[in-house]
Structure 1
Amino acid sequence: MDVSFLGGPLQQRGVGIVAPFDFALDRELWRWVPDDVSLHLTRTPFVPVEVSLDLARLVSEHETLREAVRALCAVAPEAVAYACTSGSFVGGTAGEKAMVSAMEQAGEIPSLTTSGAMLAALQEIDARRIALVTPYTKSVTDSLEDFLGEAGIEITGRSYLGLTREIWRVPYRDVVDMAREAVVGAPDALFISCTNLPTYDVIPQLEAELRMPVLSANQVTMWAALRGIGKEAVGPYQALLDPVARRGPAAMAPSPPAQASPPEPEAALAGAGTESGDPLEGTDLGYPPSGGDEWDSGGQPPV
């Protein structure tokens, strides 16, 4: 059979990804990527250290980054992203900038880190006060809060799991519970840290429930990397990616009741026996509707 008329595969553009050796969510990164972009992933060398500030420093050493970028140069990506939040915030804002500089010198390719992308995304949605969710220990979470403070971001509330290994196994239900706990003090947005923490499917559900933009480490990394090559990340109604969804929080503020004419006697009698227990019923929140029955028995939101 002659298939020459098909013309071959879709021409691809490339984004290089440098990930820590224990990164397990390759497929999640791909879900934000349009069909005409390919990800080229490489990992840092294995070190027998649990998730900690020490590990964050080891996987972000400049020579490690340079070697990874030089390896990626073989497939000529248009941009390179270091996909690790703790590894890119552990040295503070100056350390993050130095990492980007080391990567760009090694490959002469525009480069970014997850923590740098986080700051860019918060600026994009004009969020200066945020709630924070992490799977980390207290010391690593404190380091992230220090990094954000250097950048002028206030933390209104936070929640963390205290994990030192296998973060990729955390179920969506735990992410949701942490988010509910962290959102206090009327933040502008919620940020979910760690590229090894699954978040793709849960972001729209949390935005609907919490009525605010929800950002995650993998989301901001892919958003920034794709934007750097003139492409847009894809995703289901996420405030960072969709201008329509971004207008949602403004529409969610309580509005004064509309002035309506008194109901006709027949209409009043017809509704006399009906009372809704949901104060939001019939309200357009600017986000997809959410409810308890949208989660399946395994604690996973619908895909």
Structure 2
Amino acid sequence: MQKAAQHSVGFLYPGYSAEDDYPRLEGILRKAGADVALPLVHTDIGEDAHRVDALLEMGSADRLADGMAALSGRGARTVVWACTSASFVFGWEGAHEQVRTLSAVGGLPASSTSFAFVHAVRALGLQRVAIAATYPTDVAEYFAAFLKAAGIEVVSLRGSGIITAAEVGTWGRSEVLEMATSGDHAAAEAVLLPDTALHSAEHLPVLEAVLGKPVLTANQVSVWEGLRLAELSVRTEALGALFR
């Protein structure tokens, strides 16, 4: 029988799209010497739509509580709501309440991808960022407002108008690169790609090489945030500046 990992970080992931990033990220971390497991539970998303009303329902307390119940017994020391849009649409205070509720239900330190971006930007000592989002622009603007509430300057924002996570999950390297380069800005110290439905784990070295600056992606920062909550630091060139 395989020995259980010493460190287990749990994730609640909405639906099915880029969840295969998590075993890929776990493999990269293990290759870097981390004795870590990243158990993931899929939450019921209701309607798959990057639309504010659908996102508020997707991130509701009842749906997250159901996911937390499914995650119990998996040995997680921390838990991350691995969704950006269905956290930042609640606003700065609402997103805090969301993770407080999740922590109370699970009895674990908890966070979300939206806060992971904030903490990652701060950890890198950055102040000005560009947003390259898969979402429609009106949804992406909620993310910009969330970052501004955290004291981070958003110098540019590009929305791609994609409505469903299912479609985002079909994107490959060329689409991700095109969105990131189109969304970059000369004044930005980093480019943020805020959708956990977007495959990104394999693309980070290429993205940073092409843009010449840190690139933060949703699944990357979600895993980093879970490790941060567990007080575990892992260094690897394979996951970009955030993990260097």
The normalised TM-score by structure 2 is 0.89
Counterpart Cα distance in 1 of 2:237 and 2:72:
28
Task: Say yes or no: does 1:107 pair with 2:101.
Answer: no
Higher relative contact order (CA 8 A, sep 6+): 2
2:241 is matched with which residue?
A: 239
Counterpart Cα distance in 2 of 1:123 and 1:109:
23
Aligned pairs (5 A) from 1:202-213: 202-213=203-214
Task: Say yes or no: does 1:130 pair with 2:154.
Answer: no
1:275-301 Cα deviation digits (max 9, x unpaired)? xxxxxxxxxxxxxxxxxxxxxxxxxxx
Q: Is the 8 A contact 2:12 2:67 kept in 1?
A: yes
What amino acid is aligned across from residue 156 of structure 2 in structure 1?
A: G
Counterpart Cα distance in 1 of 2:64 and 2:213:
35
Identify which range, 39-48 or 86-95, moves more after superposition: 39-48
Distance 1:85 1:237, change over 3 A: closer
Counterpart Cα distance in 2 of 1:150 and 1:9:
45
Counterpart Cα distance in 2 of 1:9 and 1:74:
17
**Alignment equivalent of 1:24, drawn from 10, 17, 25:** 17
| Matched residue SS, 1:231 | coil
What amino acid is aligned across from residue 135 of structure 1 in structure 2?
A: T
TM-aligned CA deviation for residue 40 of structure 1: 2.2
Counterpart Cα distance in 1 of 2:239 and 2:73:
35
TM-aligned CA deviation for residue 240 of structure 1: 0.3
TM-aligned CA deviation for residue 114 of structure 1: 0.3
TM-aligned CA deviation for residue 170 of structure 1: 1.5
2:219 is matched with which residue?
A: 218
| Matched residue SS, 1:152 | coil
Distance 1:209 1:112, change over 3 A: same
TM-aligned CA deviation for residue 232 of structure 1: 3.5
Query: Where does the alignment leave 5 or more consecutive residues of structure 2 unmatched?
Result: none
| Matched residue SS, 2:156 | strand
What amino acid is aligned across from residue 220 of structure 2 in structure 1?
A: Q
| Matched residue SS, 1:26 | coil
Counterpart Cα distance in 2 of 1:91 and 1:102:
13
**Alignment equivalent of 2:9, drawn from 15, 18, 41:** 15
TM-aligned CA deviation for residue 135 of structure 1: 0.6
Aligned pairs (5 A) from 1:155-234: 155-165=154-164, 166-233=167-234, 234=236
Q: Which runs of 4+ in 1 moved over 6 A?
A: none
| Matched residue SS, 1:190 | strand
Distance 1:87 1:237, change over 3 A: closer
Counterpart Cα distance in 1 of 2:39 and 2:160:
31
1:206-229 Cα deviation digits (max 9, x unpaired)? 212222111101000001102222
| Matched residue SS, 1:157 | strand
| Matched residue SS, 1:17 | strand
1:284 is matched with which residue?
A: none
Aligned pairs (5 A) from 1:259-274: none
How many residues align? The count is 234
Distance 1:199 1:223, change over 3 A: same
Counterpart Cα distance in 2 of 1:235 and 1:164:
33
Identify which range, 115-124 or 12-21, moves more after superposition: 12-21
What amino acid is aligned across from residue 15 of structure 1 in structure 2?
A: V
Larger Rg: 1
Distance 1:49 1:229, change over 3 A: closer
Counterpart Cα distance in 1 of 2:185 and 2:202:
23
Q: Could you say what the CA RMSD is over the residues aligned between the two structures, in angstroms?
A: 1.7
Q: Is the 8 A contact 2:78 2:229 kept in 1?
A: yes
Higher relative helix content: 2
| Matched residue SS, 1:158 | strand
1:129-157 Cα deviation digits (max 9, x unpaired)? 10111110111111111111111111112
What amino acid is aligned across from residue 109 of structure 2 in structure 1?
A: P
Q: Is the 8 A contact 1:93 1:150 kept in 2?
A: yes
1:40 is matched with which residue?
A: 39
What amino acid is aligned across from residue 194 of structure 1 in structure 2?
A: D
1:300 is matched with which residue?
A: none
Q: Is the 8 A contact 1:90 1:143 kept in 2?
A: yes
Counterpart Cα distance in 2 of 1:27 and 1:202:
14
Identity of aligned residues (%): 28
